[in-house]
Each structure stands twice: as C-alpha cells, then as structure tokens.
C-alpha cells in the first residue's frame, strides 16, 4: 500500500515527460517538415457569439454621471476612463433559442437598448431577424425633490418622449429617488477641451477621433449646415424633401431601414468603410440601397426626409470612429 503513491507519482512524472517529448517532436516538425504545400490550413471560427470568451461586464460610470458600455463587438472601451469610447454599430442575426437578455449580455448593452433601436414589440424576437445594436450611452440622473420629467429633459437637452419610453415612465410621473437614463443626454457643465491638429475630443458622447477630412465628401446634393456638432458626432444638413443623399465615402451598407421609428433615426442607412469608420444617414424619405450593397463615394443612397425624430426635412449625418469633417 505504501508503494502506491510513489508508483502514481512516477507514472504522472512519466506522463508529463512524454507530453514534453511529443511537444518537442511537433515543434521540430513545424520548423523543418512543413512547407507551403504541407502546412495545415487555417479554419474559420464557428462560434456564433461575435464576442466569445469575454468576461461579464456591466456599465461603467464615467465621472459619476455618464454611462459607458464595457468592451464588446461594438468596440466600446473596457475602461472608459482610460480608453476612448467607440460608437461603432453592430448587426446581429437572431439564432434559434436566442433571447433578448442573452443578446444584450453578449454586446454589453441593456435589453432596452436593443428594443428601443429595433422597434421590438412585447420583447419578442424571431430566428433570422436582423437586429441593429446601437451603443446607446447617455446620462444617469437620480430624481430629486422638485424635479419633473420636463425639467430633467430640459436640463440634459434630452427628448421627453424618449426618456419616458426608455425608462417605462407612465403619465410622465417621476418620484424622488428614481434613477433615469437620459438617451442622447448632454452634460451642460462639460470641461474645456484642447484641440490638436490630428485629434479632437468633445463632451458629446462618441465624438472625437482622428481627423481624416479628405476621406469624406459632402453627403447631400446641395443643402446647408443647419446644426453643428451634436449627439454621436453628428451634424444636420437641411434640404427640401426628396433631395438626394450621397454616400460620403465608399464602403458596404450594413444597415438599411426603410421604415420604423428606429430609436428616432426613422428611415436610415449605415455604411461601413474600409478605413474602419462608419457613416450614418438618418431621417430619409426613401432608401435606395440594401444591406450588403457595395457603394462608391458620391453614389445616391436615398433622399432627404423627416422620418423618426425630426422637426423638418434634413439629413442627420454621423461619423463613427473619426471626427466629423463638416462641423464648421
């Protein structure tokens, strides 16, 4: 009986030794036997999760107020205070057995973020359905005595209807101690920023990034700038309904929504560009492209309208991943 542990220990040592011997043989073969004809081919990943093997996240609070999602497929930062937060848009095709909560966890956003951006009713999704995952950020606010929904919306330049919808507020009534998320909310007392010749920072969510102005062209047949930088590095370009909207740079269409509220964007298009950035064109009256289309700079992709959250016909134009070149 006393010899059994020693025998087990010796067996284990022999097993480990054999593993190292095999590893040495494999290493030698890899360095001498493999060539362009015999090297094993790479195989594609088959995991349907676009963000596999990533630890759980949650929501980071920046400066005690602003919300920022953890690192995910949309490119948001794991440490918002240490890295710039990206605003890349993701698309996801629902698989059999998927739930909204699982998809939300996969992309490190809330369920409401997905529901709100895709006009989902009764939290019901179906296999094959394509979801747009917007990296919604905003302002977290705790209601204090004397505040109303209207005063909170005014304080953060938010939309009262969106705040009510996003926070499931009925009849516009809020109570002291309620914690609200203000979509598109802006901090009024933003710290001053310093501009450089290559990068730009901004108190607006998602703003900033390298300046590559020459890459993008004016996205409207005519039109005038009616609102400077706001929201997700966006500008508004006013023009009459039906005026042509042009791709600001070449790329692939990843979102093409021709109907629905879509989180306030109405009918809109998103183009993914080879340089890693995205441009978004919102409030269209008509969409001329489909998901997967390859478009060239200057190609017509739709026409000016006032769908979604818009007070009049105009193009809401965003650049995600770089500075918007049409801010002045």
- CATH number of the domain where residue 235 is located: 2.70.70.10
On whether both 218 and 312 belong to a single domain, the answer is yes
Q: Which of 74, 102, 133 is the last residue of a domain?
A: 133
The whole-number pLDDT of residue 278 equals 93
Percent of the chain surpassing pLDDT 70:
66
> Do 301 and 287 contact (CB within 8 A), yes or no?
yes
DSSP bridge partners of 287 = 302
Confidence band of 7 (pLDDT split at 50, 70, 90): very low
pTM above the 0.85 mark?
A: no
In a domain, 15, yes or no: no
Residue-wise pLDDT for 83-135, tens only, equals 334 468 899 999 999 999 999 988 888 888 888 889 898 889 999 999 999 87
Looking at every residue in the chain, the average pLDDT score rounds to: 74
On whether both 127 and 82 belong to a single domain, the answer is yes
Q: Give the separation between CA 262 and CA 282, rounded to whole angstroms.
A: 10
The whole-number pLDDT of residue 205 equals 40
* Dihedral in degrees, nearest 10, Cα atoms 164, 169, 173, 177: -100
**Stretch 309-325: mean pLDDT:** 92
Confidence band of 245 (pLDDT split at 50, 70, 90): very high
In a domain, 36, yes or no: no
User: Lowest mean pLDDT: which of 30-44, 68-82, 137-151, 260-274?
Assistant: 68-82
Give the list of residues 6+ apart from residue 206 with CB closer than 8 angstroms, or none: 85, 86, 87, 135, 137, 231, 232, 233, 320
The whole-number pLDDT of residue 34 equals 43
The whole-number pLDDT of residue 268 equals 96
Residue-wise pLDDT for 171-207, tens only, equals 889 999 888 888 777 765 444 443 433 333 333 344 4
Radius of gyration of the chain (CA): 25
On whether both 218 and 302 belong to a single domain, the answer is yes
The whole-number pLDDT of residue 172 equals 86
Closest CA to 167 of 181, 151, 185: 181
Q: How many domains does the chain have?
A: 3
Answer whether residue 17 shows pLDDT above 90: no
Answer whether residue 16 shows pLDDT above 80: no
The whole-number pLDDT of residue 208 equals 56
H/E segment holding residue 132? strand 130-133
Confidence band of 266 (pLDDT split at 50, 70, 90): very high
Q: Which of 122, 149, 183 is the last residue of a domain?
A: 183
In a domain, 34, yes or no: no
| Four-residue CA torsion sign, 205, 100, 140, 156 | positive
On whether both 126 and 147 belong to a single domain, the answer is no
The whole-number pLDDT of residue 297 equals 96
On whether both 213 and 316 belong to a single domain, the answer is yes
Classify 88 in phi/psi space as left (phi over 0), alpha (psi -120 to 50) or beta. beta
Q: Which of 97, 118, 133 is the last residue of a domain?
A: 133
Of 220 and 26, which is predicted with more confidence? Answer: 220
In a domain, 232, yes or no: yes
Closest CA to 249 of 296, 294, 195: 296
Answer whether residue 290 shows pLDDT above 90: yes
Answer whether residue 156 shows pLDDT above 60: yes
On whether both 68 and 110 belong to a single domain, the answer is yes
The whole-number pLDDT of residue 21 equals 52
In a domain, 249, yes or no: yes
Answer whether residue 253 shows pLDDT above 70: yes
On whether both 86 and 168 belong to a single domain, the answer is no
Residue-wise pLDDT for 27-40, tens only, equals 443 444 444 444 44
What range defines the domain where residue 145 resides? 138-183
On whether both 227 and 307 belong to a single domain, the answer is yes
Percent of the chain surpassing pLDDT 90:
38
Closest CA to 156 of 187, 202, 189, 190: 187
In a domain, 49, yes or no: no
**Stretch 211-220: mean pLDDT:** 91
**Stretch 132-152: mean pLDDT:** 86
On whether both 165 and 109 belong to a single domain, the answer is no
The whole-number pLDDT of residue 298 equals 96
Q: Give the separation between CA 255 and CA 242, rounded to whole angstroms.
A: 20
The whole-number pLDDT of residue 328 equals 62
On whether both 162 and 213 belong to a single domain, the answer is no
In a domain, 1, yes or no: no
On whether both 94 and 114 belong to a single domain, the answer is yes
Strands (E), 197-249: 199-200, 209-210, 224-230, 234-238, 244-246
Q: What is the β-pairing status of strands 90-93 and 179-183?
A: unpaired
The whole-number pLDDT of residue 52 equals 39
**Stretch 213-230: mean pLDDT:** 90
Answer whether residue 54 shows pLDDT above 60: no
In a domain, 199, yes or no: no
**Stretch 40-59: mean pLDDT:** 38
On whether both 215 and 305 belong to a single domain, the answer is yes
The whole-number pLDDT of residue 63 equals 38
- CATH number of the domain where residue 95 is located: 3.10.350.10
């Amino acid at each position: 009986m006393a010899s059994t542990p020693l025998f087990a220990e010796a067996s284990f040592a022999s097993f480990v030794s054999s593993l190292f011997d095999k590893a040495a043989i494999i290493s030698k073969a890899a360095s001498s036997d493999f060539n362009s004809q015999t090297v094993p081919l790479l195989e594609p990943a088959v995991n349907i999760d676009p963000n596999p093997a990533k630890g759980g996240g949650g929501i980071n609070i920046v400066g005690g107020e602003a919300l920022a999602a953890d690192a995910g497929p949309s490119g948001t930062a794991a440490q918002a205070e240490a890295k710039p937060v990206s605003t890349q848009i993701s698309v996801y095709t629902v698989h059999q057995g998927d739930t909204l909560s699982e998809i939300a966890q996969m992309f490190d956003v809330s369920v409401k973020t997905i529901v709100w951006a895709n006009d989902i009713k009764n939290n019901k999704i179906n296999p094959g359905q394509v979801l747009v995952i917007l990296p919604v950020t905003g302002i977290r606010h705790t209601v204090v005595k004397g505040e109303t929904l209207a005063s909170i919306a005014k304080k953060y330049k938010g939309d009262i209807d969106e705040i009510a919808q996003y926070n499931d507020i009925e009849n516009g009534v809020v109570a002291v101690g309620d914690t609200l998320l203000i979509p598109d909310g802006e901090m009024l007392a933003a710290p001053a920023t310093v501009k450089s010749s290559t990068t730009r920072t901004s108190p607006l969510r998602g703003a900033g990034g390298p300046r590559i102005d020459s890459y993008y062209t004016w996205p409207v047949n005519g039109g005038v700038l009616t609102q400077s930088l706001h929201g997700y590095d966006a500008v508004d370009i006013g023009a009459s309904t039906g005026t042509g909207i042009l791709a600001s740079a070449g790329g692939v269409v990843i979102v093409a929504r021709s109907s629905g509220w879509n989180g306030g964007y109405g009918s809109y298009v998103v183009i993914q560009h080879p340089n890693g950035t995205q441009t978004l064109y919102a409030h269209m009256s008509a969409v001329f492209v489909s998901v997967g289309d390859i478009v060239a700079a200057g190609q017509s992709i739709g026409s000016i309208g006032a769908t979604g959250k818009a007070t009049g016909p105009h193009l809401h134009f965003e650049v995600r991943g770089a500075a918007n070149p049409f801010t002045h």
